[in-house]
DNA sequence: CATGAATGAGTGTTCATTCAT
DNA sequence: GATGAATGAACACTCATTCAT
């Protein structure tokens, strides 16, 4: 009598609140397996154990679902990565390792490499999304790299020219290796963590003080 | 006059022989512009100035066309790259530059980055193709890198440990930058040649003799 | 306090009783604006400030709502019109004017032209409704016209042949003009009242005593 | 050998040329029976004995099909009607009769009343079509009426005030009766031709010289 | 009783593929 | 061989209707 939202209401409500992320999770799994275009919304629905129409209560279109997934999964991580870079003041090699580990965790463990893959191959159809991804993900990543390099120069870990290094060169192996593992064989190759450690070593050698 | 292959016939014959590569050229151009899934076979036909049905005279399906294009465009180039690497015996930095320039030419100017993009995001639909691409393109590229590194070590340009370097780390920036330019903005960033020159410098610093 | 129908109850009761007509009112407004097929039940619910499911407490289906709206809105008016015609004994031109004004008020101001529009274009889906509309609305209207004409002949206002006039000819302009204004431009044309006055004049000239 | 389009080609060509009008014919029949919204494109295809996709070779959308049907069926007729009115110089009553017969033939026999019905009830979804219908059909019809009335005044058949008569009053019965017959019973009522003859008589009485 | 989350049948549209000419 | 008209399976999206709360 006193409670206008009794126990009964809550179960459905709890479900409703969880739906969007359940749908996103199902979608990302399938996109990772089959690609964006090749995944039917009906499959996503089945993966989330709901009916096709239910998706449309939460996302107005397939593209919007992609956008929401992107938003939901990445922003937080990139912020975290940047905070880490700015807050932490250890040796440059350690900052780079931390940065790469963050990227690896997000892209590989968190499954965010789908976004990169989809944007790379179907990006022409979603110019707005590409623009947002650049703004939110790529440029933040590049800023982080620049900050790390600048800090390294300031600290004396790196040579002054390191500040002018194209940040994509620093990020590329982390990105590429994440993609690599989703399609190509990695047999006979170092695991991603070791490879990134090698990358740090090369960078420190190539950019560091002689 | 009784000649069964008169002048007219020959022209047609020449035309007919050229068809497959004309179709492939048209397809690659469009795939590069719009992506594989978003390009209709009808557009490819129009680009090749033939009728839609004619494509099926030469390729049994859209996927087969993709496969043929991949086969046709890449093998030669990769062979060239390897030959170049093996045949040439200059300083390591020069060999790396040459190798990257070859990759860049092929992927960017030749438009082969489509293959990488498609395979990366829709590879699961083409397991055989992925396997072949790995065998023919990726592993050859990695062999080339290993050969260059080994030659560098032998020459004394590189430290012995360079021979154990994951070849993907060497290739990744060249691959990633090729993909980058097909979707993302490059404004405010060095052009690809300069970036690869930086990459060579970093590698030489990171892997080279102190 | 022990009263089983206290003040609060009553208000709710009054509310509940009013629901059907509130729903009908909301529906007719939207049907008039967008047409029957293009109006979603959800919009009707929103217009009536209730939840979608609540409509089903009162009407078992969308078609049933249409039927109920038809029933509710028209019978009364047509009865009124007939009463007016039969009760009043003025000059024929005045009776016709009054009749047309009644039709105009109902169809245009009251929004009942939707029924005519829907029945005209989707009537085949509602054979029962069409039959009822004919019985209740059209044939009553025609009776009224016949009564007016007969009275006019009896009075000496009209020529005897007027009694044989197809009543649809008398009603058609009033009906058509009501429909016209719901879709087509009326710019540069007389307003409906003036037009109907012209119509009365023509009828009186064409059917009246020379 | 001399004929680049031999017999074989022709059969298909003849078919192709006929397709659009076959599709339109099938569509109009079904729209007349069931209304526009309630008729699936698949039904139209079945009615034209073709596959659903074939419709899209000739019309880019359902709406475009409606538009094409409208264009195809009506313009010619309305032009004919206007030519008739302008070219013919007989008594006004005869011109009116001719005009109404043209309208009747087109709307009833030619099935064009569908357009009116669809526009009346679903016109809100097609503002462009409504505008075109007004421009092409309605305003031409009204011009024709005005021309007939003006000619009648000039001839001395009609009183001067007839020139100011709202042309919709003249057309309304012809339009309304066409619609009437598609949904409502006409039992016990004069057939359309007789009714329109009565209408002409009334108009001549109401607008004509005393 | 009221709610609105969930459903799923239904429809317009696309496009790889076929095949009569 | 070459053509392009025809096909029909497939898919995104809508919305009347249901039902757990």
**pLDDT value of residue D3:** 45
CA angle (C197, C113, C130) in 5-degree steps: 120
Q: Which residues of C touch D180 (CB under 8 A)?
A: 168
Give the pair of three-digit tokens for residue C135.
Answer: 């019985």
Radius of gyration of chain D (CA): 21
Residue pLDDT, tens place only, A108-137 = 988 889 999 989 888 888 888 888 889 888
**pLDDT value of residue C93:** 93
User: A38 and A74: one domain?
Assistant: no
**pLDDT value of residue C111:** 85
* Strand F within 7 A of B14 CB: no
Instruction: Check if D38 contacts C (Cβ < 8 Å).
Output: yes
Q: Tell me the three state secondary structure of residue D187.
A: coil
Give the pair of three-digit tokens for residue D187.
Answer: 């039992």
β-bridge partners, D208: D158
How is A63-100 classified by DSSP, letter by letter?
HHHHHHHHHHHHHHHHHHHHHHHHH--S-HHHHHHHHH
* Strand F within 7 A of B19 CB: yes
Residue pLDDT, tens place only, C24-54 = 999 999 998 888 888 999 999 999 999 999 9
Q: Which residue has the tokens 């992506």?
A: B35
Residue pLDDT, tens place only, A160-207 = 999 999 999 999 999 999 999 999 999 999 999 999 999 999 999 988
- Record: contact D195-C166, CB cut-off 8 A: yes
Q: Residue C119 and residue C179: Cα distance in Å, rounded? A: 12
Q: Residue D24 and residue D66: Cα distance in Å, rounded? A: 8
Instruction: Enumerate residue ranges in chain D where pLDDT < 50.
Output: 1-8
Query: Which nucleotide lies closest to D50 by the C1' atom and the CA atom?
Result: F6
Task: Determine the residue among D28, D136, D159, D183 to mutate to test chain C binding: the one whose Cβ has the most chain C Cβ atoms within 10 Å.
Answer: D183
Instruction: Check if D86 contacts C (Cβ < 8 Å).
Output: no
User: C21 and C115: one domain?
Assistant: no
Nearest by CB: A183 against B130, B173, B198: B130
Q: Which residues of D touch C33 (CB under 8 A)?
A: 124
Residue pLDDT, tens place only, C156-203 = 999 999 999 999 999 999 999 999 999 999 999 999 999 999 999 999
How is C29-82 classified by DSSP, letter by letter?
HHHHHH-STT--HHHHHHHTTS-HHHHHHH-SSHHHHHHHHHHHHHHHHHHHHH
Position C132 confidence tier, pLDDT thresholds 50, 70, 90: confident
Q: With an 8 Å CB cutoff and a minimum of 3 pairs, decide whether chains D and A touch.
A: no
**pLDDT value of residue B129:** 83
- Record: contact C202-D203, CB cut-off 8 A: yes
User: B117 and B44: one domain?
Assistant: no
User: C98 and C40: one domain?
Assistant: no
Number of domains in chain C: 2
Q: Which long-range contacts (CB under 8 A, 24 or more apart) does A148-155 make?
A: A148/A85, A148/A92, A148/A95, A148/A96, A148/A99, A149/A92, A149/A207, A151/A85, A151/A89, A151/A92, A151/A95, A152/A92, A152/A95, A152/A207, A155/A91, A155/A92
The enclosing domain of B49 has a CATH number of 1.10.10.60
- Record: contact D120-C120, CB cut-off 8 A: yes
**pLDDT value of residue A74:** 74
**pLDDT value of residue B15:** 64
What are phi and psi for residue B208, nearest 5 degrees? -80, 165
- Which residues of chain A (5-24) touch nucleic strand F at CB < 7 A? 7-12
**pLDDT value of residue A72:** 87
**Mean pLDDT of residues grouped by 10 in chain B (210 residues)?**
51 70 94 89 96 96 93 73 68 93 90 90 82 87 92 93 95 96 93 97 86
Q: Residue D123 and residue D114: Cα distance in Å, rounded? A: 12
User: A73 and A10: one domain?
Assistant: no
Q: Please determine, for residue A8, whether its predicted confidence score (pLDDT) is greater than 50.
A: no
Residue pLDDT, tens place only, A138-167 = 998 899 999 999 999 999 999 999 999 999
β-bridge partners, B158: B208
- Of A210 and A56, which is predicted with more confidence? A56
Q: With an 8 Å CB cutoff and a minimum of 3 pairs, decide whether chains B and C touch.
A: no
Q: Please determine, for residue A3, whether its predicted confidence score (pLDDT) is greater than 90.
A: no
Q: Choose the final residue of a domain: C9, C27, C59.
A: C59
User: B41 and B82: one domain?
Assistant: no
User: D202 and D98: one domain?
Assistant: yes
* Strand F within 7 A of D52 CB: yes
Task: Determine the residue among C142, C162, C168 to mutate to test chain D binding: the one whose Cβ has the most chain D Cβ atoms within 10 Å.
Answer: C168
C153, containing H or E segment: helix C139-155
Q: Å between B54 CA and E20 C1'?
A: 15
- Record: contact C138-D184, CB cut-off 8 A: yes
Q: Choose the final residue of a domain: B23, B41, B59.
A: B59
User: A112 and A134: one domain?
Assistant: yes
Q: Choose the final residue of a domain: A36, A59, A82.
A: A59
Q: Residue C138 and residue C134: Cα distance in Å, rounded? A: 5
**pLDDT value of residue C28:** 93
Nearest by CB: B35 against A121, A165, A177: A121
The enclosing domain of D117 has a CATH number of 1.10.357
- Which residues of chain A (121-180) touch nucleic strand F at CB < 7 A? none
Residue pLDDT, tens place only, C135-161 = 888 998 899 899 999 999 999 999 999
Instruction: Check if B63 contacts A (Cβ < 8 Å).
Output: no
Q: How many CB pairs under 8 A join C and D?
A: 143
User: A186 and A82: one domain?
Assistant: yes
Q: Which long-range contacts (CB under 8 A, 24 or more apart) does A107-112 make?
A: A107/A174, A107/A175, A107/A178, A108/A178, A108/A181, A108/A192, A110/A73, A110/A77, A111/A28, A111/A29, A111/A32, A111/A73, A112/A73, A112/A74, A112/A77
What are phi and psi for residue B190, nearest 5 degrees? -60, 155
User: C110 and C182: one domain?
Assistant: yes
Give the pair of three-digit tokens for residue A23.
Answer: 């749908």
Share of chain A above pLDDT 70, in %: 87
Residue of chain B with shortest Cα separation from A132: B184
Which residues fall within 8 angstroms of residue A201, CB to CB, at 6 or more apart?
Answer: A93, B206
Q: Tell me the three state secondary structure of residue A111.
A: coil
Let me know if residue D128 belongs to a domain: yes
Residue of chain B with shortest Cα separation from A138: B184
Let me know if residue D64 belongs to a domain: no
Q: What is chain D's mean pLDDT, rounded?
A: 87
**pLDDT value of residue B179:** 95
User: A108 and A153: one domain?
Assistant: yes
User: D55 and D73: one domain?
Assistant: no
- Domain span holding position B126: 62-207
Q: Which residues of C touch D199 (CB under 8 A)?
A: 169
- CB neighbour burial string for C87-107, b if at least 16 within 10 angstroms, e if fewer: eeeeebbebbbbbbbbbbebb
Note which residues in 143-182 of chain C have CB less than 8 A from chain D.
165-166, 168-169, 171-173, 175-177, 179-180, 182
Residue of chain A with shortest Cα separation from B189: A166
Task: Determine the residue among A121, A145, A163, A201 to mutate to test chain B binding: the one whose Cβ has the most chain B Cβ atoms within 10 Å.
Answer: A121
| Burial of residue D42 (number of CB atoms within 10 Å: 0-12, 13-18, 19+) | exposed
* Strand F within 7 A of D51 CB: yes
Residue of chain B with shortest Cα separation from A113: B121
Q: Which residue has the tokens 């250890």?
A: A90
Residue pLDDT, tens place only, C59-89 = 999 999 999 998 887 766 766 766 665 666 7
**pLDDT value of residue C18:** 80
Residue pLDDT, tens place only, B100-154 = 998 999 899 888 899 999 898 888 878 888 888 898 889 988 999 999 999 999 9
Q: Tell me the three state secondary structure of residue D128.
A: helix
- Record: contact D202-C201, CB cut-off 8 A: no
Give the pair of three-digit tokens for residue B116.
Answer: 């990488």
- Record: contact D117-C120, CB cut-off 8 A: yes
Residue pLDDT, tens place only, A73-101 = 876 676 676 666 566 678 999 999 999 99
Q: Tell me the three state secondary structure of residue C158.
A: strand
Task: Give the closest residue to D26 by CA, choosing from D197, D58, D5.
Answer: D58
Query: Which nucleotide lies closest to B48 by the C1' atom and the CA atom?
Result: F2
């Amino acid at each position: 009598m006193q409670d206008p939202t009794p126990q009964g209401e809550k179960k459905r409500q709890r479900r409703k609140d969880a739906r969007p992320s359940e749908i996103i999770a199902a979608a990302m799994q399938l996109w990772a397996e089959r690609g964006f275009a090749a995944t039917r919304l009906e499959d996503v629905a089945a993966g989330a154990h709901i009916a096709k129409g239910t998706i449309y209560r939460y996302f107005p279109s397939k593209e919007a679902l992609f956008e929401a997934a992107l938003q939901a999964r990445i922003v937080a991580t990139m912020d975290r990565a940047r905070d880490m870079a700015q807050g932490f003041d250890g040796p440059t090699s350690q900052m780079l390792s931390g940065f790469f580990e963050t990227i690896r965790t997000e892209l590989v463990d968190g499954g965010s490499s789908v976004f990169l893959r989809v944007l790379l191959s179907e990006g022409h159809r979603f110019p707005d999304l590409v623009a947002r991804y650049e703004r939110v993900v790529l440029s933040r990543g590049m800023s982080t790299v620049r900050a790390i390099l600048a800090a390294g120069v300031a600290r004396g870990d790196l040579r002054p020219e390191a500040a002018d290094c194209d940040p994509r060169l620093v990020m590329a192996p982390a990105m590429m290796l994440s993609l690599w593992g989703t399609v190509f064989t990695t047999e006979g190759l170092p695991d991603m963590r070791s490879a990134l450690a090698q990358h740090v070593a090369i960078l420190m050698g190539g950019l560091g003080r002689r």
